[in-house]
A and B are shown apart, each in its own frame.
Chain A
Amino acid sequence: DAGVIQSPRHEVTEMGQEVTLRCKPISGHDYLFWYRQTMMRGLELLIYFNNNVPIDDSGMPEDRFSAKMPNASFSTLKIQPSEPRDSAVYFCASSYTGNTEAFFGQGTRLTVV
């Protein structure tokens, strides 16, 4: 398996623009997580899905952030409008029921200027 695949790897956008980050989990995994990593706050869980249904979105910082999982093989994290303080590395991870380990993608480095 190719592992968790995230795109793009790097994104530079201007403040106020919409940004969409994409994730393809490992086939057969029924849990999907979105994390954000910053120097100040470390790794934070933003939201996670089980069987494509959002279970806990309490980590989503603002209404500007939204996440969807239309099917078992694809998820998006959208920021609209983006702000400089959203600059961070965003990781997607997946796991499966009965396993405790989360498998991480390579991350998307977002820079908002």
Chain B
Amino acid sequence: AQSVTQLGSHVSVSEGALVLLRCNYSSSVPPYLFWYVQYPNQGLQLLLKYTTGATLVKGINGFEAEFKKSETSFHLTKPSAHMSDAAEYFCAVSLGGADGLTFGKGTHLIIQP
């Protein structure tokens, strides 16, 4: 069975600073990895995903993530935080296909002005 651990339930950064949200996964087979964002009272929106190929994945709103197999990690970064980035971020893993996603507990990103 696969699992996801997100380190830090809350992360606070200043506007313009680097955003780093950590995600580690456990999977018995090469995983598919995802980052979703959830704004208040909204559903989840896909930021980016890794399936195969290039390990550095670029997503929407300037976010990117790097798949590191040796570290079983898929950390999310953004060079410069914007106030509009304040939201809940979820890392997720699946075994491929459409067998359902296993989500981490989420990280609440707070942007300080």
- Show the binding face of A for B, using Cβ within 8 Å: 4, 31, 33, 42-43, 45, 48, 50, 56, 91, 93, 95-97, 99-107
Q: Is the CB of B105 within 8 A of A102?
A: no
In whole Å, how far is A75's beta carbon from the nearest beta carbon of chain B?
Answer: 14
Q: Is the CB of A91 within 8 A of B98?
A: no
In whole Å, how far is B101's beta carbon from the nearest beta carbon of chain A?
Answer: 6
Chain B, 47-76, contact with A by CB distance < 8 Å: what is the 0/1 string? 001010000000000000000000000000
Q: Is the CB of A106 within 8 A of B100?
A: no
In whole Å, how far is A45's beta carbon from the nearest beta carbon of chain B?
Answer: 5
Q: Is the CB of B98 within 8 A of A106?
A: no
- Show the binding face of B for A, using Cβ within 8 Å: 32, 34, 36, 41-46, 49, 51, 90, 94, 96-106
- Determine the residue in chain B with the shortest Cβ distance to A56: B100
Q: Is the CB of A43 within 8 A of B103?
A: yes
Q: Is the CB of B43 within 8 A of A100?
A: no
Chain B binding site: helix, strand, loop or mixed by DSSP? loop
Q: Is the CB of A104 within 8 A of B44?
A: yes
Most chain-B Cβ atoms within 10 A of its Cβ — which of A91, A93, A101?
A101
Q: Is the CB of B104 within 8 A of A48?
A: no
Q: Is the CB of A106 within 8 A of B103?
A: no
Chain B residues near A95 (CB-CB < 8 A): 98
Q: Is the CB of B44 within 8 A of A42?
A: no
Chain B residues near A33 (CB-CB < 8 A): 100-101
In whole Å, how far is B26's beta carbon from the nearest beta carbon of chain A?
Answer: 16
Q: Is the CB of A104 within 8 A of B43?
A: yes
A sample of 15 inter-chain contacts (CB < 8 A) reads A33-B100, A33-B101, A42-B105, A48-B98, A91-B43, A95-B98, A96-B98, A100-B51, A100-B94, A100-B96, A102-B98, A103-B46, A104-B44, A106-B41, A107-B42
Q: 7 new A-B pairs (CB below 8 Å) besides A4-B43, A50-B98, A56-B99?
A: A42-B104, A42-B105, A91-B43, A97-B98, A100-B49, A100-B94, A103-B46
Q: Is the CB of B43 within 8 A of A45?
A: no
In whole Å, how far is A5's beta carbon from the nearest beta carbon of chain B?
Answer: 11
